[in-house]
Amino acid sequence: MRCAWLVAWREFVENVKTKGFWLGICLFPAILVFAGAVPLFLARKAVPTRHFVLVDFTGRYGSVIRGELALQRAEELGNALKTHARRGPYSEPFSYYIRTTDAKGVAWHGGELDLAAWKTAAGTNWLRVPGFTPPRPSLLEVSLPTELARIADPAELGRRLRPWFGGERTLPTADGKLFAAVVIPPGYGPGSTNAVEFWCGNQADTELRDLVQRRLGEEFRRSEYRRVGLDPAVVARIDALRAPVVALDPSKATGEERVGLPDLLRQWAPSFFVYLLWVAIFAVSQMLLNSVIEEKSNRIIEVLLSSVTPGELMMGKLAGIAAVGVVMMAAWIGSLVGAAFFQTAHVAGSLAPDSPMATLPADVLALVHTTWLLPAFAFYFAMGFLLYAGVFLTIGSLCNTLKEAQNFMGPLMLVLMVPLFLMPFIPRDPNGPIATFLSWIPWYTPFVMMNRITAHPPARDVVGTGLLLAGFTALVLWGCGRVFRMAILRTGQPPRLVELLRWLRGR
């Protein structure tokens, strides 16, 4: 056992010292942060103010678009001011309009700004608040260059604007670029065959085009309502009607049946753990394969085998690499829990108390504490790891180079891919026939049972598949041990199937 421990320790230390390990540790939280923060950051910072010209030959629809843009801008400024208000108390008179308690009288870190009251009180100076810098507008109309002001033909106007799009001519703005031109042709309106011309060098940026299309469409519908004698305000009210549906779970206690975020978490969290399990098995098994092939191709194996038995070597390797996997998992789960605590301590206070985000960390922690999620994860990780790692280790012992190993890896990777494809379906019917059937296939038991564990699967499934998995893993490891012992010193071509079977029979 001492030798197995020494082999395990070396495997662990040598793998932990590699750049790949630290990259793996940091990559997962980094991806989480990037996936959440980068799109927001890009939306806020990376899109510059885009300047456009609006030419309305009808004299009717330009104001509609400008009104919509003004409304959008006012909303943008109002939201920015509300966010600013949550960050701390301000001197009079602004702070007067920040409510520091909610309806139940609970104090927040910041507060909710009564924007309407503040606007009324401050009038046109409503944005002049100490410390507040209004965000720059994402879209800003500029006047048509004077030499084009008299052009009456929309097509001609579009052609004459080309130098501004191409950069040969510049606008009197900071970047001088013309983003788009919206040209509303004469006679444009409901039933006309004319279309608004949207000239733009970047057709992938559809914000302005969508706004024009949406708002003008609304305007057309309103005028049509009026024409047929309907009040647009009534139509808007009718449109806003929603059919309320509340999801209730009969398995919950009376009064608490309403399905909320914690329930959704309970349903989907196992999927997250399945992904973790999959990534961990895949990552550490690769390490294992590399490690055996290194020892075999460098001929270190012979010296090792003069000091340790093949069984000790195999056990040490599995344990050492499993420890690497456990550290990786702990770091990933730790970073999630850390993020949850950070959220609780620093961010939640500035959220509205009824926001689902405010209770998310507590819900996540409660889920981990009160369900079998973590113990199940520990069990299925151990079993899944031993099962697949044993096979990877044996493949490594059969091959002299990674290239050779890849031939064997193909089928195994296909087997490993199946749980990934099934992941979205199992939580929808966790105790259905497909999930139950797959649970009894030991190769998939760790993934499928992990996915079912919070859905109260029958005890028969939990215990039965657990025992089957443990037995099957022991059997696979035993077979792997036999093959490993024979294959590890072999050089040249990998063995044929007949030879493998003979080794399994111990001959």
Partner 1 sequence: MSSAVLELRGVTKLYDDFRAVDDLSLSVPAGCIYGFLGPNGAGKTTTIRMILGILKPTSGSISVLGAPSAMGVRARIGYLPEEKGLYKKMRAWSVIAYFGTLKGMGRAAAKRRAFELLERYGLKDFATARTEALSKGMGQKVQVLASIAHDPEFVILDEPFSGLDPVNQGVMEEIVMDLRRRGRTVLFSTHVMQHAERLCDRIVVIAKGRALFDGTVGAARRLIPRRVRLATADDPSPLRALPSVAALHAVGGGQWEVELREGTDPQAVLRACFETPVRLRSFDAAEPSLHDVFVKLVGSGAREASFR
The residues of the shown chain that bind partner 1, judged by CB under 8 A, are: 3, 6-7, 10, 14, 17-18, 294-295, 297-300, 302-309, 489
Measured from the Cβ of residue 194, the count of other Cβ atoms closer than 10 Å reads 14
76 neighbors 231 (Cβ within 8 angstroms): no
Query: Quick one: 150 or 507, whose CB is closer to partner 1?
Result: 507
CB of 3 to partner 1, least distance (A): 6
Measured from the Cβ of residue 451, the count of other Cβ atoms closer than 10 Å reads 30
CB of 482 to partner 1, least distance (A): 13
CB of 10 to partner 1, least distance (A): 6
DSSP state string for 270-288: HHHHHHHHHHHHHHHHHHH
Distance CA 128, CA 485 (A): 79
205 three-class SS: coil
Angle between helices 445-452 and 459-487 in degrees, nearest 10: 150
β-pairing verdict for 197-200 and 180-184: antiparallel
CB of 1 to partner 1, least distance (A): 13
- Of 366, 394, 345, 325, give the one whose Cα is nearest residue 454: 366
Query: Quick one: 30 or 501, whose CB is closer to partner 1?
Result: 501
CB of 300 to partner 1, least distance (A): 5
Q: Please tell me the total number of residues recorded for the chain in this structure.
A: 507
456-461-464 Cα angle (round to 5): 140
Query: Quick one: 154 or 316, whose CB is closer to partner 1?
Result: 316
CB of 205 to partner 1, least distance (A): 49
Query: Quick one: 13 or 467, whose CB is closer to partner 1?
Result: 13
Query: Quick one: 17 or 242, whose CB is closer to partner 1?
Result: 17
- Of 462, 388, 435, 355, give the one whose Cα is nearest residue 108: 355
CB of 303 to partner 1, least distance (A): 6
Query: Quick one: 290 or 451, whose CB is closer to partner 1?
Result: 290
CB of 293 to partner 1, least distance (A): 12
Contacts of 24 (CB under 8 A, 6+ apart): 283, 328
CB of 429 to partner 1, least distance (A): 48
Distance CA 445, CA 376 (A): 12
Query: Quick one: 85 or 393, whose CB is closer to partner 1?
Result: 393
For residue 336, what are its two tokens? Answer: 């999630």
User: Residue 126, exposed/middle/buried by CB under 10 A (0-12, 13-18, 19+)?
Assistant: middle
Running DSSP on this structure, what letter comes out for residue 45? I
Single-letter amino acid, residue 346: H
Query: Quick one: 10 or 119, whose CB is closer to partner 1?
Result: 10
- Of 404, 390, 389, give the one whose Cα is nearest residue 480: 390
317 neighbors 483 (Cβ within 8 angstroms): no
Looking at the DSSP bridge assignments, the partners of residue 182 are: 54, 198
CB of 292 to partner 1, least distance (A): 13
Query: Quick one: 18 or 370, whose CB is closer to partner 1?
Result: 18
Query: Quick one: 14 or 114, whose CB is closer to partner 1?
Result: 14
Angle between helices 373-398 and 459-487 in degrees, nearest 10: 20
36 neighbors 345 (Cβ within 8 angstroms): no
CB of 310 to partner 1, least distance (A): 9
Query: Quick one: 183 or 405, whose CB is closer to partner 1?
Result: 405
